[in-house]
């Protein structure tokens, strides 16, 4: 066994590690070099062959055996072995060391007793051994009663221990009666294994196998424990199944004391067209008359070559209350519609074309009536199919830019008007400009044709609409140097003129159009509606002013502020069904829009503030506004304050305060907290308290979260506990995901 394999043996025996701090680490050593040119004389370096060099106070060579006495050192592959004495047989390649042995190399320190090595036959054995190695920014320590290695990368350790704690303070460690490692197959087997934390046994197993290196291995993953009002105490134990190199699965029993046993599964498959994943969870809910409840999701991302991509995302859920009652994923718990889509997209530098089938399953409880039926008006139409094309010409005379957008789509929904829509929009523009100005006139035409089914007497079975749009976008750039560092202050006035004639569209159905929220970007948009079912009439001029301060030393934008308003020259008459304006009018008669403003500043690297404001001058009130002030001097300290108000008369009307903080209390202890409060409803929407104790070799993390779980303003309380033994997989619920979701600026270390 070659001496360098000792390092491989120790590293192979260890699980992968996460980032950490505070524990002592081993710095790499590169100071040892092979001396291949020295002569073989006493008290000097002896070169036995091309593979090994050695030195000692006394060197004796007899019949091919070199005796090294007094401060013997052997070097091989940038490792140094030190011992009081050693024997090296140049014929057989055997090295024998009696007494203490010390090995030092890049990121490793090892001491042992009585070692025998056979460099030619790839064998070695040692007595009692202690090791310390550098591992991802920390050191791992351990010992073994004996170690041995055989050809083919097979190793065995007797009475082995492992920990990432300092040897003088083993807060946790793992011990195995015997470890067998096979580096060729990438599998290790431990016998008689036990783990202790603060001398308290956590678990013990007679035997288990595990992967070494980066290989996947079938077996159990770290368990998790949690609690919530809806589910009670939870115990989760994932089992990973490595089926084939391109196919694997995770099967997870989730025991809920209030609900029963939920079975989760996720199957992942990889082929030449991309990745596929099928997720499913099923529960016979004893808290709901033992009804079967389930959720399934199929996803795919892939493509053919560099220009064609494919995507599939299809979900189905048994009932509308499922995510409120059983969801343990923050994103899923907040969805109102489950998308079902399959699409094929072609894209190059000039053209993008897509074909898709798309539908939605409404799971928003606010859309469900007293009979547990979803209101049709709250259910999006299915697109079966939708074909879109967006292309632009490569080159036109005089610098003219030409483009074409087109769409063919069939809309379907039960108990509703259905039909086909064809939408074409060619466009010409002439972008002109220089260093301090730009001027871009544009003209476009939009043709839309409808063929309807079940339209009734209100809507014709076929109709079309043609509308021309003219716009001019222009602006100036003024700047001045502020200081010797080259910091720059800019003023950027911008004017946007838009002319769209009115056309009565009451005979056009609304399949997918809605009104955009009014914000700064809306000042320069040609249509205030999404989709193609409504084209807003416009005769208006947008005025805006933006100012920035740019730091000359590093190019940071330390301040950005913008304000703008639209001046209307005609009333707006195009609207959505049931849409009304001020005082219930069916026509918007205002001469000016609301003022909209944005501001963002980072005057110092640890302070950030940004805000948005929509101000109604006619009513002298805020329609929408948001403010975020954040202080983050480092990754370990975050302080956020936020305020948000929506005063538009919509269902989303609200006013909220949001406080969050991450702050160290002592060297190893930090707290995380959030409070989200609704001023209009006079109720706490979410409160979170997290406590993290982080030592050099383990972290203990606890969080309690109280939040609105459904529309009747009932609170649910969840408790999370996680133990991170650095160098092993975390045990418990994912504390980091919970806090990252609640506190802007928090980053999980594990």
pLDDT per position as a tens digit, 585-622: 889 999 999 999 999 998 777 899 999 999 999 889 99
Q: Are 599 and 610 in contact (CB under 8 A)?
A: yes
Beta-carbon count within 10 A of 645 CB: 20
Supply the Cα-derived Rg of the chain in whole angstroms: 35
Cα separation, 318 vs 368, whole angstroms: 14
Mean predicted lDDT score pLDDT of the chain: 84
Closest listed residue to residue 359, CA positions, set 407, 321, 420, 313: 313
Question: What is the reported pLDDT for 218?
Answer: 85
DSSP alpha helix (H) spans, 448-595: none
Q: Which of 57-61, 460-464, 708-712, 714-718 ranks highest by mean pLDDT?
A: 460-464
Residue 207 bridge partners (DSSP): 191
Burial environment of residue 538 by CB neighbours within 10 A (0 to 12, 13 to 18, 19 or more): buried
Task: In whole angstroms, give the CA distance from residue 199 to residue 163.
Answer: 13
pLDDT, mean of residues 688-708: 90
pLDDT over 70 for what percent of the chain?
86
With 50 as the cut, is the pLDDT of residue 50 above it?
no
Tokens of 340: 């079902």
CA–CA dist 542, 565 (Å, integer)? 6
The C-alpha atoms of residue 165 and residue 699 are separated, in whole angstroms, by 12
Domains (range + CATH), the chain: 5-213 (2.60.450.10), 421-573 (no CATH), 620-750 (no CATH)
- Mean pLDDT in residue range 708-719: 74
Supply the DSSP symbol for 378: G
Q: State residue 298 phi and psi, 5-degree precision.
A: -115, 125
Asked if 63 and 57 count as a contact pair (C-beta separation under 8 A), the reply is no
The sign of the torsion formed by the CA atoms of 500, 504, 510, 514 equals positive
Measured torsion, CA atoms of residues 521, 525, 529, 530, in degrees rounded to the nearest 10: -80
Instruction: Please write the tens of the pLDDT for every residue from 260-281.
Output: 999 999 999 999 989 999 999 9
Q: How far, in Å, CA of 334 to CA of 323, rounded?
A: 8
Asked whether 560 and 548 are in contact (CB, 8 A), the reply is yes
Q: How much is the pTM?
A: 0.79
Check residue 660 and report its DSSP letter: E
pLDDT at 211: 66
- Reduce the DSSP state of residue 5 to 3 states and report it: helix
Has residue 42 got a pLDDT over 80?
no
Among 370-384, 673-687, 699-713, the range of highest mean pLDDT: 673-687
Among candidates 253, 247, 276, which has minimal Cα distance to 265?
253
Q: What is the pLDDT of residues 2-34, one digit of tens each?
A: 333 333 333 333 333 333 344 655 444 333 232
Q: How confident is the model at residue 1 (pLDDT cuts 50, 70, 90)?
A: very low
């Amino acid at each position: 066994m070659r001496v360098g394999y000792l390092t491989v043996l120790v590293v192979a025996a260890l699980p992968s590690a996460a980032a950490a701090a505070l524990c002592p680490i081993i710095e790499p050593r590169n100071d040892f070099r092979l001396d291949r040119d020295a002569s073989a004389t006493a008290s000097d370096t002896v070169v036995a062959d091309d593979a090994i060099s050695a030195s000692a106070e006394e060197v004796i060579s007899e019949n091919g055996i070199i005796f090294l006495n007094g401060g013997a050192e052997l070097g091989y592959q940038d490792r140094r072995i030190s011992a009081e004495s050693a024997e090296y047989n140049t014929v057989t390649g055997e090295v024998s060391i009696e007494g203490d042995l010390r090995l030092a190399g890049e990121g490793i320190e090892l001491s042992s007793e009585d070692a025998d090595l056979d460099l030619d036959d790839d064998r070695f054995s040692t007595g009692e051994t202690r090791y310390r190695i550098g591992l991802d920014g920390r050191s791992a320590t351990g010992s073994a009663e004996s170690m041995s290695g055989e050809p083919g990368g097979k190793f065995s350790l007797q009475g082995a221990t492992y920990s990432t704690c300092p040897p003088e303070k083993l807060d946790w460690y793992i011990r195995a009666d015997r470890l067998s490692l096979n580096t060729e197959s990438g599998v290790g087997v431990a016998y008689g294994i036990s783990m202790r934390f603060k001398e308290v046994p956590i678990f013990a197993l007679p035997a288990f196998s595990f992967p070494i290196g980066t290989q996947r291995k079938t077996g159990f993953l770290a368990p998790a424990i949690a609690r919530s009002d809806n589910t009670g105490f939870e115990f989760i134990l994932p089992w990973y199944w490595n089926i084939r190199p391109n196919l694997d699965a995770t099967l997870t029993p989730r025991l809920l004391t209030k609900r029963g046993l939920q079975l989760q599964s996720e199957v992942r498959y990889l082929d030449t067209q991309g990745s596929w994943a099928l997720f499913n969870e099923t529960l016979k809910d004893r808290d709901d008359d033992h009804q079967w409840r389930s959720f399934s999701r199929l996803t795919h991302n892939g493509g053919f070559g560099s220009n064609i991509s494919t995507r599939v995302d299809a979900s189905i859920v048994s009932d509308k209350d499922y995510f409120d009652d059983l969801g343990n994923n923050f994103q899923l718990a907040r969805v109102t519609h489950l998308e079902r889509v399959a699409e094929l997209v072609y894209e190059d530098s000039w053209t993008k074309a897509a074909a898709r089938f798309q539908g939605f399953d409404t799971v928003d409880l606010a859309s469900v009536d007293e009979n547990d039926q979803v209101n049709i008006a709250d259910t999006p139409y299915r697109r079966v199919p939708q074909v879109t094309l967006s292309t632009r010409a490569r080159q036109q005379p005089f610098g003219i830019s030409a483009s074409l957008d087109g769409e063919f789509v069939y809309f379907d929904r039960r108990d509703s008007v259905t039909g086909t829509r064809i939408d074409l929009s060619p466009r010409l523009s002439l972008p002109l400009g220089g260093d301090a100005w730009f001027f871009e006139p544009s003209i476009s035409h939009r043709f839309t044709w409808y063929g309807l089914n079940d339209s009734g007497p209100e809507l014709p079975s076929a109709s079309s609409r043609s509308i021309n749009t003219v716009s001019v976008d222009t602006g100036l750039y003024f700047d001045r140097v502020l200081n010797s560092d080259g910091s720059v202050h800019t003023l950027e006035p911008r004017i946007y003129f838009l002319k769209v004639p009115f056309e009565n569209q009451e005979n056009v159905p609304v399949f997918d159009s809605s009104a955009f929220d009014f914000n700064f970007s809306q000042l320069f948009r040609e249509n205030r509606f999404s989709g193609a079912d409504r084209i807003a009439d416009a005769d208006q001029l947008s005025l805006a002013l933006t100012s920035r301060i740019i730091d000359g030393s590093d190019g940071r934008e330390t301040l950005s502020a913008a304000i703008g308003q639209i001046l209307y020259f005609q009333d707006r008459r195009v609207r959505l069904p049931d849409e009304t304006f001020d005082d219930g009018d069916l026509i918007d008669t205002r001469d000016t829009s609301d003022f909209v403003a944005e501001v963002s500043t980072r005057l110092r690297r640890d302070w950030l503030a940004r805000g948005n404001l929509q101000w109604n001058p006619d009513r002298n009130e805020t329609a929408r506004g948001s403010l975020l002030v954040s202080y983050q001097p480092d990754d370990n300290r975050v302080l956020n304050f936020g305020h948000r108000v929506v005063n538009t008369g919509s269902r989303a009307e609200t006013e909220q305060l949001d406080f969050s903080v991450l702050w160290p209390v002592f060297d190893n202890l930090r707290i995380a907290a959030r409070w989200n409060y609704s001023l209009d409803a006079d109720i706490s929407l979410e409160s979170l308290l997290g406590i993290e104790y982080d030592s050099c070799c383990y972290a203990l993390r606890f969080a309690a979260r109280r939040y609105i779980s459904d529309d009747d303003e009932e609170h649910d309380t969840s408790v999370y506990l996680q133990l991170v033994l650095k160098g092993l997989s975390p045990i418990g619920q994912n504390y980091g995901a919970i806090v990252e979701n609640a506190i802007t600026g928090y980053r999980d270390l594990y």
